[in-house]
Structure 1
Amino acid sequence: MISPRLVMIHASAGTGKTFRLTNRFIALLAAGAAPERIVALTFTRKAAGEFFDGILGKLAQAAASEERAAALARDVGRPELRAADFLRLLRAMVDALHRLRLGTLDSFFAKIAQAFPFELGLAGDFEVIEGHAAARERERVLRQLFASGGALDDAQRDFLEAFKLATFGTEEKQLARRMDKFLDEKYERFLEVPAPVHWGVAGVIWKTGQPWLDEVAPAVASAALRRWLGGGAEMTDEQRARWTRFATELGEWSVGAPWGDEMAYFLPKLLAVAGALDGIGAVLTIERKKQTLDVAGGAALREVVRAVAGGELRKQLAMTRGLHAVLARYDAVYSALVRRAGKLTFGDVTRLLRPDAGARALSFGAADEEGRLMLDYRLDAGIDHWLLDEFQDTSRGQWSVLQNLIDEVVQDPEERRTFFCVGDVKQSIYGWREGDPTLMGDIRRHYNGGDDATAPIATEPLDASWRSGPEVIAMVNAVFGASEVIAELFPEETSRRWTRAWREHRTERGDRAGQAAWLFAEDDAERHATTLRLIREIDPLARGLTCAVLTRSNRQAAEIADYLRREGGVPAVAESDLQVATDNPLGAALLALVQAATHPGDTLAWEHVRMTPLHAALTAEGAGDREAATARVLAQIAADGFERFAEHWSARVAPAGDFTRERARQFAGAAALFDVQGRRDPDEFVRFMQEYTAREPESAEVVRVMTIHKSKGLGFDVVIIPELEGTKLAASPRGLVVARDDAHEPEWVLELPKSELVEADPVLSRHAERAAGATCYEALSLLYVAMTRAKRAMYAITAPVAAKSRSHNYPKLLAETLGGDAGAVRVGGAELSGAWVVGAADWFSGIGREADEASAPAITALAAPAVPRRVARRPSGERAGERSAARLFARDEREAVTFGAEVHALLAGVVWCASDEIEARAAAWQAGGASDAAISEVVGCLRAPALRELWTRTAGAEVWRERSFEVVLDGAWVSGVFDRVVVVRGPDGRVAAATVFDFKTDRISGEAAEVERAVARHVVQLNLYRRVVARLAGLPESVVGAEVVFTALARRISVPAAS
């Protein structure tokens, strides 16, 4: 039929995986296989589309040219084929289009479930929900859980008590938001491991016991510690004083509370020697001096460890059991309301098809083993050939669905059926979506045993790059082939797996001369500037070269794209998810109109509409007042739907400029997607549009700025990687974890305690080491993906690495593998700071393209606006006084900006806060990774008597926090964000007064003169805020207060109204 019949390809980046897959498919067609009996599956819809296009494109080209037919015939091993033969194969493909099985694993599984709904326990046909639809179903389930006509019923009380246990009593005002985040983080874990026996059961986790779990009260441990201290234990006065403070703090501590300074000092030391406390001779370093413990000291400190470590572990066990109770209750309601109504996510479908868990995980009545085998038999009867792409991203759950079917192909006695699998475990960057890079090796060993030479599945490496030139490959080999460095920097598990997967790369594109370099820049500003300088020097777009800037987050991508456009005039596009319905004035105005029509009491939305051209359009149609507009809009939506509504009012305001016209088109397109669901709920429409995202179309005429994840599978002539800073790659696990055995079966589930306790416990530390190794491997894979996108030139930009740096991050890896001292690196005529370079500085000088006068650029200048462009103002820019350039760009100034942003973020999370809630908030912020300095400053503000009024709820009061606004004042377009506005409504529900509070983290003394000068700097800004609030709330400025709050002083000062 075709040889080899069974093959597994271990590929590398740019080595032609898609080329091999498409040729394999065509070879099967040429050998007589019916198109519909071939299954070709990959990981993403985009990759599936490229696969489909590649097959049809090759067949069409070969059918049209004998020369191309001969080339394709050689590639597929059938030199006798002619153009007429490929035309016949093309016709067979086109005739079978509706029966083809080319797509993603998710879509293939959905088709199986649709074909066998009753066998899988479904009531009949179902729909796959994702995105907005899935979020709305979750809301519906939560409403059902909390629905009450009065008192809570027993089930609701049980649910809330379980939730309190799961969050260890942390109270939260915004329960819905907290529940949503809670489910995002935890629910998938429950679906992976639904059985309660795995959740927070000490005997399952510690099979030989955990002595810390013997319950000891902190007060008892504190007393034991004091007895030891009072018994004549030898130590210095400084040590005794410190031990005494520790004993006092321990006696006042309770499980779940944050560790104080002394506990944070002593407990890591005690945990490090916990195993030696049973005897004599344990040594601690206290106050910079060694102290050897006697028997009494060891016994007292064992009590301390049991009180604290044991208390924390018992708390985590209880929390984990509480989590399971919450998730099980939610899942029961979700299954009843959503799944049994025929609404499944892609994850649900996969779990439904899994023979190991199957319908049981989804609260369905699972088919018996014989019934499942019959389902597989019917599937197997219609499939002869399997092609699996990007296999390193496949999960074990997905493989379990396919395994029985692949077994049949491998064991085919007639050797007529085939299996083809390709993957690159070095590009495994989807572990967070359960992609498992170890699966490919496990499958090979499962079928082949220990001897690949005589095994049924042939294995083949692909290491020759058809993408990257010699300079890029040289840098890739230097970094990723340095096995000794990788072994030194990263966990043993990471090093072992990477070394086993790595093969020296070579290039088939020796003609692609270029350059690869490691460059230096101290901070974000310098890295952005270096990126711009490289683009200006190479000028890739003018030379017909594609160019990409790769980042690790969408936020970084947006910042860099904005910088390139603003500072350099570079046509750069951030290929992140764009909020096309809300990132422009027209979309925001249309949503405000829907909101105002649906909620007559929403004066903010109506005032928004009045300040836009929409109001003039409404007036022209006789709907200029609130009541008429409400009737007009709601009647139009009910009759015509949201798409027609959007098209109608967009046309009435005649948006100027290409950007706004494109957004109007995208808004209407999104509205059409909502209409397809058959709904007319305006509130749901607004939520849908606020969450809707789209991507800019790809174009070679722009610099593309994207995340490394989005770049996977793509190639660019020039690649710049400016965002490689960060912490160590082997990050320890946090939160809810699932520990698995060597067979990848779940062993236990636990909400992990503090990292100090994880490191000290043998069972938890083993899991943490394995998880850190997997995380590090994925991080290494991410850098490999980034560096192998380049065809000709690649530039990595980091801060210089100190010689004595002990970091285990990307810059350290580059320093250890590329080496070299800082020096000059030439790129064209530019001289940049760096440490490593290969290739000619002017590699691009001979590259150009002939001008094509007929082609239009992908990004054109915006048309002249139909109305005069308004001057833009930002209240935060309205400051009095001067600041020196040296101070503005000083390191202290940058650190102050970062600190201020963190303080503002914490304060933005406070709606109201009673005095007895402050400690819980501080603990939650600390657990969330906020800095101690920011927490201290915010807690000081919450406790300060002078500021208590800000956080105390009063009758009729509501809070705006971090509320952004756009408004026209005095002919200028004013944009900004309120830190905090307290709006007070009167008995009639109308807004009666408001106060703007603006938080300032200025480091000033409390001297009256300096405070007065600081207030003066912000008077203009606060008065502008006062005017904006007055406009938005429909109030006279006289009843709008404005106060500046200096967080460092915990003082509030009223700003007088402008005369």
Structure 2
Amino acid sequence: MTRVGHVMILASAGSGKTYALTNRFVRLLALGAAPERIVALTFTRKAAGEFFDEILNKLARAASDAAYARQLAAEIGRPAAMGTAEFLALLRRMVDAMHRLRLGTIDGFFARIARNFPLELGLAGEFELLEEHAARMERSRVLRQLFERPTDGLADAQREFIEAFKRATFGVEEKRLGAQLDAFLDEHQEIFLNASARDAWGDARRIWRNGSRWLGPPCDVAAAVQTLRAWVDAAGVGEKQRQRWMEFFDACVAWAPGIAPVRPLVYVLEKVLAAWSDLEAGRAVLEFDRKPQELSAAACAALAALARHVVGGELTRRLEMTSGIYAVLAGYEAMYHDAVRRAGKLTFADVQRLLMPGNGAPLLSGREAPGAVPDDDADSQLALPSMELGEAAALSGAEERRLLIDYRLDGEIDHWLLDEFQDTSFGQWSVLRNLIDEAVQDSSGARSFFYVGDVKQAIFAWREGDPRLFREIFDHYNAMRPGTIAEEHLVKSWRSGPAVIASVNRVFGAAAELTELFACPATQTWNREWRAHETARPQLAGHVALLHAGGPRDTAGISEEARFALTLALLEEIQPLARGLSCAVLVQKNSTATALADRLRRAGGIAAVAESDLHVCTDNPVGTALLALAKAAAHPGDTRAWEHVQMSPLASVLHAQHVRTPEQLTRRLLTEIHRDGFERTFGEWARRLEPRLASDDAFSRERLRQFAAAAGLFDATGSRDVAEFIAFMERHVVREVESADVVRVMTIHKAKGLGFDVVILPDLEGQKLDSRRDGLAVQRGPDRQVEWVLDLPGKLIHDCDTILAEHVRAAEADACYEALSLLYVAMTRAKRAMYLVVKPPGASSSRNYPRLLARTLGEETIPVRVGAREFAGAFSEGDPRWHLDLQPAIAADAATSVVRQRIEPLRSAAAKSPRRLVARRPSSVQGTQWMGAQLFSAARTDRTEFGTAVHRLLAEVEWGTPATAQSMTTEWRARGEDAAVVAEAAGCLESPALAHVWRSAANAEVWRERAFEIVLEDVWVSGIFDRVIVWRDAAGRPIRASVFDFKTDRVGESPQWDELARRHAGQLNLYRRVATVLTGLPAMAITSEAVFTRARRAVAVTDATPTQD
């Protein structure tokens, strides 16, 4: 085979990383490599599937298209050797080898190794890979065993575990011990498994190898305070300074480890630590309130003793807590190891550690294999199995067996392709290192190593992704033989247009500004790896703007509200969905995504979906009722669950099934579960429940389907345990299917790898970028091995200690790099347009995203246009009117035929998921526009909130007269409603021109703020009627109806009513179509009017009303 060469590719966002990797795979095939001898690994099943699809697509296209075959042959460096026939032969080889291919996830590859070599790894044959739910269940089972109380009292091991937990939490009381332990294990277990040696946890000798000046014999606080009091009396300090000293003395006497230092203590301690060297020399001068005070030698010694008392006391407490954390984790892990791993149940993390040479294997396999019968009970005690000196031979044997696995794998694999390498952990690399060493050092050149990624997108350091490996591996191999690995850069973006790329270059290529703002190694690394980006789409029109929302002194809540409002205004101006543009709003937290999507739907009628995890079994009444049914059946004495069922529509279902008592329910439901499984059982109960739901409750019907689907997933575990089922359903989450027909609101992490025409970033506020991640301080050496672990004290304490301060600085540098990477990922998702929405920076010096954007894009507030609107901002790049050249893709009055929705009953729990429908809001169709003045007045009044408040008051009015208006006005004012809102609503009730909107009539009913979900011509329409009056005949049949939609627009002094009618025609006509379905009336029997509350005017809108172009 021809020499291939080893390559490292640093691929910037949108530059074709997947394209390069698949081309590499095709090139290897073309050079004669067998498909099954190529390993291509990534991190997600989705990405692995994309590799496979793209490779087959390229080969199939090249086999059938001569022009493309020539192009692909040139790209893989084989222009003369490859034609359609040759690519067809490669395609046949790929298909024939499909069952032997090694294209997948790195976790899946490790699991495959473990399954192929179980005995060599100390496993007793087959093992079970635990998914998240199963792992949670095993943890719960172990914790229950830990706290099961024997008849003769707590066992010594249990007592020791509880005492260790008390030390770990240092007196913090928690009623829900189970929940606290669960969170405790989530936070600390992974650290323990990476550092299981006892002396690594809270051992002062490991942390301060040359000793610590803060740790010493106890201080006589009373004597030290007395010495300082004598100095204060003799020195004749000022009254204000004297008061400072007296408060400090009181605080010193009252302080104890674990008590947060009060301000008087902190005030003096900060000054003492700043002058520590002088204090130790016995000649310190401290300045209180701008008054210097020279301390005597005795006073210096006493003050130093008090400082050591506080700092040393807190450090000692933290050491004790860390030791307690270790003891808790060791106790838990000992029992978990015996109960779970020895039974042959492993997580993906367990498998990885099992494969890590000389590191994880001894811990996980110990002296016995999972499933093996122990020779003795030496390992049944509280501590984990440890490797004693006498076991050196066993360890050597284990290492030898591990190397034999590598030897056998090396004989089967010639080529390595690793994707997203910046997210690879050191542990994962250690598993692969021997194998890749062999490929790189192969003298024939017939084997190869290829890795690709982008260190600027390293946003998963929190799950141990290590971007430093990228350059370290390159340097390591090239140090042995220069040129061993070739370095390539991909900087041309095939995703983003000129405006986006120019803005990205301006922010992330500003080396001087980055260095000034963040003076740490992170910026040095960033600047070294940065390459200016280019665009492969220079003709793509677009726009980037930095916009200001609210004021620089706004509180966090007010600032968020202003940024959300501006986001809504941008979406209403651009109308991305109507113009056929994909759109994403990116935020930092799932909770923010949920809140913002809800705001966009409610306030703007925009089809927005929060792509966060949805707890579909518990976020709705029908799901919680079905779970209560399961709880009541499993525990007949659970009166709360039984009463929950009785207060739900399930009560009538039980009555119809002749189930009157919890005991009857237990016999009935548990029999069905054990006979039929959970999916079929709850599918049948859901079928019985469905007719009792409201006819327009599509949401609950969808949740019933999802509940049954989740029950099917649990059935796959083989369990019939109701408690486990309930726990599974409470944790079960789904994510909305990707759709271009909604505004997708998601976290930046979830957006990685995706691209959108329009991106809005309204959630860039927050703490400084170089803030270390919360949690235990874990110090690692150059070889990534854990040197020590400590529950880090507060800033005042750790800053005064050289060792701890150095650790914090390194952690802050890592956090800074990750934060820069997160912003880079966010700013490179956009294809055409990007809008960064921040609070004006003002005088703040915070080293956060808004400050970085201000320094690199612009600080002065200027008018920034976006289409027809003008906003306050600081930067604009590209064409502000780019979107106006794109014609809306949806006609508001596309069809007038009545579509009757018929909701099919839930036929079976095993029914297939319905086809995903396009989602629309009536207010999102063409013709519905909101002008900028409607949202922002000179006084920054939030018009959206005003309109919502007016709608809320008008929804309280069933029928009205001028007299009704007076009584309602009095009531609204009495409960503190905004005066302007009350005046607007009352004016509508009093206006003669709007009397028909409120007038009562015989045989008429009124709908107020009635929500609906309906399918019209394959479009799922969601909306809310403001007010609908339905007239009925003597038999109760509808005979006509009127739809009223309230508009709080500022219509001006001389409004053009025809123009206003055209603007809202699309929305009102869609409301009429929905009303025809819900009432059964023909379209001609339903009228619609836009009611302008400020002008006290109703304007009729009909099918003939032309919509705005």
TM-score of the superposition, structure 1-length normalised? 0.80
CA distance in 1, matches of 2:296, 2:480: 55
SS in 2 for 1:117: coil
Whether 2:700 is the aligned partner of 1:660: answer yes
Whether 2:808 is the aligned partner of 1:806: answer no
Amino acid at match of 2:30: A
SS in 2 for 1:517: strand
Q: Deviations over 1:899-933 (max 9, x none)?
A: xxxxxxxxxxxxxxxxxxxxxxxxxxxxxxxxxxx
Partner of 1:858: 918
Partner of 1:647: 683
Partner of 2:46: 46
Whether 2:386 is the aligned partner of 1:381: answer no
Amino acid at match of 1:826: R
Amino acid at match of 1:519: L
Show the 5 A alignment for 1:536-615.
Answer: 536-615=572-651
Partner of 1:103: 104
CA distance in 1, matches of 2:260, 2:220: 14
Moved more, 649-658 or 519-528: 649-658
CA distance in 1, matches of 2:549, 2:871: 9
Tell me if the contact between 1:224 and 1:303 (Cα under 8 Å) persists in the aligned partners.
Answer: no
Partner of 2:516: 488
Partner of 1:390: 420
CA distance in 1, matches of 2:492, 2:849: 25
CA distance in 2, matches of 1:231, 1:609: 74
Show the 5 A alignment for 1:1047-1058.
Answer: none
SS in 2 for 1:720: strand
Change (3 A) 1:456 1:829: same
Partner of 1:1022: none
Change (3 A) 1:886 1:185: farther
CA distance in 1, matches of 2:917, 2:195: 53
Partner of 1:828: 867
Tell me if the contact between 1:826 and 1:841 (Cα under 8 Å) persists in the aligned partners.
Answer: yes
CA distance in 1, matches of 2:64, 2:619: 47
CA distance in 2, matches of 1:229, 1:599: 71
Partner of 2:167: 165
SS in 2 for 1:368: helix
Partner of 2:116: 115
SS in 1 for 2:235: coil
Q: 1:470 aligns with which of 480, 484, 498?
A: 498
CA distance in 1, matches of 2:639, 2:232: 69
Q: 2:781 aligns with which of 725, 737, 741?
A: 741
SS in 2 for 1:683: helix
Whether 2:545 is the aligned partner of 1:517: answer yes
Partner of 1:72: 72
Partner of 1:91: 92
Whether 2:487 is the aligned partner of 1:459: answer yes
Moved more, 151-160 or 93-102: 93-102
Partner of 1:444: 474
Partner of 1:176: 178
Q: Deviations over 1:175-229 (max 9, x none)?
A: 2111111111111111111111222111211122112101224634643544543
SS in 2 for 1:581: coil
Provide structure 1 residue ranges, at least 5 long, that are not aligned to the other structure: 863-870, 890-971, 974-1059
CA distance in 2, matches of 1:489, 1:734: 22
Question: Alpha-carbon deviation of 1:484?
Answer: 0.9
Question: Alpha-carbon deviation of 1:161?
Answer: 1.6
Q: Deviations over 1:303-322 (max 9, x none)?
A: 10111111111111122122
Partner of 1:1003: none
CA distance in 2, matches of 1:491, 1:43: 33
Amino acid at match of 1:613: P
SS in 1 for 2:882: coil
Partner of 1:753: 793
Tell me if the contact between 1:13 and 1:465 (Cα under 8 Å) persists in the aligned partners.
Answer: yes
CA distance in 2, matches of 1:702, 1:881: 41
SS in 1 for 2:214: helix
CA distance in 2, matches of 1:450, 1:478: 38
Question: Alpha-carbon deviation of 1:29?
Answer: 1.7
Change (3 A) 1:872 1:138: farther
Tell me if the contact between 1:728 and 1:807 (Cα under 8 Å) persists in the aligned partners.
Answer: yes
Amino acid at match of 1:621: Q
Question: Alpha-carbon deviation of 1:287?
Answer: 3.1
Q: 1:677 aligns with which of 717, 720, 725?
A: 717
Q: Deviations over 1:522-575 (max 9, x none)?
A: 211121111111112111112221100000000111111111111111111111
Partner of 2:975: 882
CA distance in 1, matches of 2:719, 2:524: 54
Show the 5 A alignment for 1:961-976.
Answer: none
Could you say what the CA RMSD is over the residues aligned between the two structures, in angstroms? 2.6
Provide structure 2 residue ranges, at least 5 long, that are not aligned to the other structure: 368-394, 551-558, 896-914, 923-953, 957-970, 983-1009, 1012-1109
Partner of 1:699: 739
Question: Alpha-carbon deviation of 1:856?
Answer: 9.2
Amino acid at match of 1:666: Q
Amino acid at match of 2:83: R
Q: 1:325 aligns with which of 317, 324, 327?
A: 327
Q: Highest Rg: 1 or 2?
A: 2
Change (3 A) 1:776 1:221: farther
Tell me if the contact between 1:429 and 1:709 (Cα under 8 Å) persists in the aligned partners.
Answer: yes
Partner of 1:359: 361
CA distance in 2, matches of 1:164, 1:253: 21
SS in 2 for 1:39: strand
Amino acid at match of 1:41: L
Change (3 A) 1:472 1:218: farther
Change (3 A) 1:165 1:622: same
Change (3 A) 1:50 1:160: same
Question: Alpha-carbon deviation of 1:596?
Answer: 1.6
Change (3 A) 1:264 1:130: farther
Partner of 1:843: 882
Question: Alpha-carbon deviation of 1:685?
Answer: 0.8
Amino acid at match of 1:499: N
CA distance in 1, matches of 2:762, 2:591: 13
Q: 2:248 aligns with which of 240, 246, 249?
A: 246
Amino acid at match of 1:291: Q
Partner of 2:36: 36
Question: Alpha-carbon deviation of 1:744?
Answer: 2.6
CA distance in 2, matches of 1:706, 1:248: 51
CA distance in 1, matches of 2:210, 2:160: 33
SS in 2 for 1:213: coil
Whether 2:847 is the aligned partner of 1:817: answer no
Amino acid at match of 2:852: L
Whether 2:261 is the aligned partner of 1:259: answer yes
Tell me if the contact between 1:466 and 1:509 (Cα under 8 Å) persists in the aligned partners.
Answer: yes
Tell me if the contact between 1:799 and 1:811 (Cα under 8 Å) persists in the aligned partners.
Answer: yes
Task: Name the % identity.
Answer: 54
Change (3 A) 1:330 1:839: same
Change (3 A) 1:290 1:242: same
Change (3 A) 1:336 1:97: same
Question: Alpha-carbon deviation of 1:806?
Answer: 1.1
Question: Alpha-carbon deviation of 1:888?
Answer: 11
Question: Alpha-carbon deviation of 1:791?
Answer: 0.5
SS in 1 for 2:799: helix
Partner of 1:284: 286
Tell me if the contact between 2:768 and 2:846 (Cα under 8 Å) persists in the aligned partners.
Answer: yes
How many pairs were matched up?
877
CA distance in 2, matches of 1:887, 1:50: 56
